[in-house]
C-alpha cells in the first residue's frame, strides 16, 4: 500500500504510519506501535484511514478529538446546567429526578468513559450492572441525614431513558453525532396497582380520627391525608396548596399550569365534595398556605413521611404509599361507571395510557359473568342426539323457526299442543314425542 510504512526510531521504538494527501496537503497518520498492532492489523487500519480520507474525512483530527473528548461526568454537569436553558418547559422536580439518576447510577459506572467512545454494548453492560445492584449504597448527606440508593431492576428503565435524553440533547447541540443509548433496550417501569378497597378506605379514615383524638398525629397532617384521599390530588398539589387557589363558590381548587405535573394542558380544576370543603374551611388560618408550618416557621409543611409511616403501621396496611390514595380515587371512579376520559380529566393525567391501566376495573365482574352466561347458554342449547337427524321442510322453516317464548302462557300452550319442545332455555322446532317439556326454569308434563 502506498504511504504505509513502519518507522524505527533511534531508541528502538517501532511505529506504523500512513502518509497520504488530503486537500492538496500531505498528512501523516500515526496508527500505533508495533506490538499492540501487528502488520496485518496495522494494514487494515491504514486502509480504513485512507478510505476515510478519500471521502473527505480527517483521521488525525478525529483521533485527536477522541483523545481530548469530554467524559460522561463532564457531560452530566453540562447537561444539568445548560440543559435547563434549552428545556424551559421541564419541571424542576423532573430535573431533580434526572440529576439523581445520572449522579447515582450513571456517573459511578460510566463517568470515566469518553462520550465519543461510548458504545451500545457499554450501555447494555451498564444496565446489567445497575440491575444487579452495583450502584446500591448508603451515603452521608450531612451531620444527621443519610440517603440510601437502592438501584436494581426498578430503576434501570428510568435511568436508561434519562441517559438517552442527555445524549439526544448533545446531538441537538451538534456536540456528538450518534446516540448509542437509543439502540439499547429500555425496560419498562414496573407500575404499581396498589389501591384501597371500600372497607380499607373506611378503616383508614377511622384510624386517622383515632390517632388525631389520641394526639398521635398532628391535625394538619391528618387533614392533608384526608384531602388527598377525597380529591385524588398529588401530594405536592395539596401540600403546597394556597388559599388563593381555592374557589369555595364552585367549590373547586384551581391550579395554574406550573403547579401540577402535566401543566402543558392548561389549568387544572379539582372539584371538591362536601367533606373536602369542610376540611378546608376548618383549616382557616392567617397565612397564605392551607397547610402551613407551625409558627415561628413560614411556608407550607414538609412532606409528613414519619406521620404516614405511623398511620400505615396503626392501620396495618402493607406497603401503602401516599400516592396510592390517588390511585384509590381513580379505581373508585372507574368502578362507579365513569369513563376513562372523565377520569383522565379529573385526575390531570397527561396521557390516556396512564389512565388506561385502570380499565380492567370497569365492570370487570359483570363482563365475566356475561361471558359465563353466554357460554352456558350455548352449551345448554346444543342439539341432543335424539334430534340431530331431524330435518325440517323448507315450507315449515318460517313457521317452525326457533324462537324464545314471550310468556309462560305461550310456552305452555305450544308445549301442550305438541308443536314444540323446550330443551334448556330455547325452543327446538321438531315434532314432540318426548315425555316432558321444559320451559325456562319450570318443568311440566307434555301432552302427547
DSSP string, 284-346: --SSSBSSBPPTT--SBPPP-HHHHHHHHHHHT-SS--THHHHHHHHHHHHHTT--HHHHHHH
CA dist list (Å): 115 to 23, 170, 346, 362, 364: 29, 10, 44, 48, 50
CATH for the 4-67 domain, from 3.40.50.80, 3.30.160.390, 3.40.140.10, 3.30.565.10: 3.30.160.390
Interatomic CA distance for residues 287 and 243, integer angstroms: 9
pLDDT in tens, 27-83: 777 888 888 888 888 888 888 887 777 766 666 656 665 555 678 998 899 899 888
361 burial level (CB within 10 Å; 0-12, 13-18, 19+): middle
Number of neighbours of residue 116 by Cβ within 10 angstroms: 16
In DSSP terms, 444 is beta-bridged to 437
Report the pLDDT value the prediction gives residue 263, as an integer from 0 to 100: 63
* Category of 56 on φ-ψ map: left (φ > 0), alpha (ψ -120 to 50) or beta: left
Report the pLDDT value the prediction gives residue 159, as an integer from 0 to 100: 93
Report the pLDDT value the prediction gives residue 200, as an integer from 0 to 100: 93
Instruction: Give the β-pairing of 14-22 and 436-439.
Output: unpaired
367 — pLDDT class (breaks 50, 70, 90): low
High-pLDDT (> 70) share of the chain, % = 75
431 — pLDDT class (breaks 50, 70, 90): very low
pLDDT at 147 over 60: yes
Q: Do domains 72-183 and 198-361 have the same CATH topology?
A: no
Residue predicted with more confidence, 92 or 167:
167
CATH topology of domain 198-361: hpI Integrase; Chain A (1.10.443)
Whole-prediction pTM = 0.62
Cell of 48: 480504513
Q: What is the mean pLDDT of the chain?
A: 79
Query: What is the CATH class of 72-183?
Result: mainly alpha
pLDDT in tens, 256-293: 888 887 766 678 889 999 999 999 999 988 899 999 99
Interatomic CA distance for residues 209 and 66, integer angstroms: 65
Cell of 146: 443519610
Where exactly are the structural domains of the chain?
4-67, 72-183, 198-361, 367-445
Report the chain's C-alpha Rg in angstroms: 37
1 — pLDDT class (breaks 50, 70, 90): confident
Backbone angles phi, psi at 140, to 5 degrees: -85, 130
Cell of 421: 319442545
Task: Supply the DSSP string of 181-234, one letter for each residue.
Answer: GGGS--PPP--------HHHHHHHHHHHHHHHHTTSS-HHHHHHHHHHHHH---
Report the pLDDT value the prediction gives residue 432, as an integer from 0 to 100: 37
Report the pLDDT value the prediction gives residue 211, as an integer from 0 to 100: 95
Report the pLDDT value the prediction gives residue 364, as an integer from 0 to 100: 59
In DSSP terms, 442 is beta-bridged to 439
Interatomic CA distance for residues 178 and 171, integer angstroms: 7
Number of neighbours of residue 89 by Cβ within 10 angstroms: 9
Amino acid at each position: 500500500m502506498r504511504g504505509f510504512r513502519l518507522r524505527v526510531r533511534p531508541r528502538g521504538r517501532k511505529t506504523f504510519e500512513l502518509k497520504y494527501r488530503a486537500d492538496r496537503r500531505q498528512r501523516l497518520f500515526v496508527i500505533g506501535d508495533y506490538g499492540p498492532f501487528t502488520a496485518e492489523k496495522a494494514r487494515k487500519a491504514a486502509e480504513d484511514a485512507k478510505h476515510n480520507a478519500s471521502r473527505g474525512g480527517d483521521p488525525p483530527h478525529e483521533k485527536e478529538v477522541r483523545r481530548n473528548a469530554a467524559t460522561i461526568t463532564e457531560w452530566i454537569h453540562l447537561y444539568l446546567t445548560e440543559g435547563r436553558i434549552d428545556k424551559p418547559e421541564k419541571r424542576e422536580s423532573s430535573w431533580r429526578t434526572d440529576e439523581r439518576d445520572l449522579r447515582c447510577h450513571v456517573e459511578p459506572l460510566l463517568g470515566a468513559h469518553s462520550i465519543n467512545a461510548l458504545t451500545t454494548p457499554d450501555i447494555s453492560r451498564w444496565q446489567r450492572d445497575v440491575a444487579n445492584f452495583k450502584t446500591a449504597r448508603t451515603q452521608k448527606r450531612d451531620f444527621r441525614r443519610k440517603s440510601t440508593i437502592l438501584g436494581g431492576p426498578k430503576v434501570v428503565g428510568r435511568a436508561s431513558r434519562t441517559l438517552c435524553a442527555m445524549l439526544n440533547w448533545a446531538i441537538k447541540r451538534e456536540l456528538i453525532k450518534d446516540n448509542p443509548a437509543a439502540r439499547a433496550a429500555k425496560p419498562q417501569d414496573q407500575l404499581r396497582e396498589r389501591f384501597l378497597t371500600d372497607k380499607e378506605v373506611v378503616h383508614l379514615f377511622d384510624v386517622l380520627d383515632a390517632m388525631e383524638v389520641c394526639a398521635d398525629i398532628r391535625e394538619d397532617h391528618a387533614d392533608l391525608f384526608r384531602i388527598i384521599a377525597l380529591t385524588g390530588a398529588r401530594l405536592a398539589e395539596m401540600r403546597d396548596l394556597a388559599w388563593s387557589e381555592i374557589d369555595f363558590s364552585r367549590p373547586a381548587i384551581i391550579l395554574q399550569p406550573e403547579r401540577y405535573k402535566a401543566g402543558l394542558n392548561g389549568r387544572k380544576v379539582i372539584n371538591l365534595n362536601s367533606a373536602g370543603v369542610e376540611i378546608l374551611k376548618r383549616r382557616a388560618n392567617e397565612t397564605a398556605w392551607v397547610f402551613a408550618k407551625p409558627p415561628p416557621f413560614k411556608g407550607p409543611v414538609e412532606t409528613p413521611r414519619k406521620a404516614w409511616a405511623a398511620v400505615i403501621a396503626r392501620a396495618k396496611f402493607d406497603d401503602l404509599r401516599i400516592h396510592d390514595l390517588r390511585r384509590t380515587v381513580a379505581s373508585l371512579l372507574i368502578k362507579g361507571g365513569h369513563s376513562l376520559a372523565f377520569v383522565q380529566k379529573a385526575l390531570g393525567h397527561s396521557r390516556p395510557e396512564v389512565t388506561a391501566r385502570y380499565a380492567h376495573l370497569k365492570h370487570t365482574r359483570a363482563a365475566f359473568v356475561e361471558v359465563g352466561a353466554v357460554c352456558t347458554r350455548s352449551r345448554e342449547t346444543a342439539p341432543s342426539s335424539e334430534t340431530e337427524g331431524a330435518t325440517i321442510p323448507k315450507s315449515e322453516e318460517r313457521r317452525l323457526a326457533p324462537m324464545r317464548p314471550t310468556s309462560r302462557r305461550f310456552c305452555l300452550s305450544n308445549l301442550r299442543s305438541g308443536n314444540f319442545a323446550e330443551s334448556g332455555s330455547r325452543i327446538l322446532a321438531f315434532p314432540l314425542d318426548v315425555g316432558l317439556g321444559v320451559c325456562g326454569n319450570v318443568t311440566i308434563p307434555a301432552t302427547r
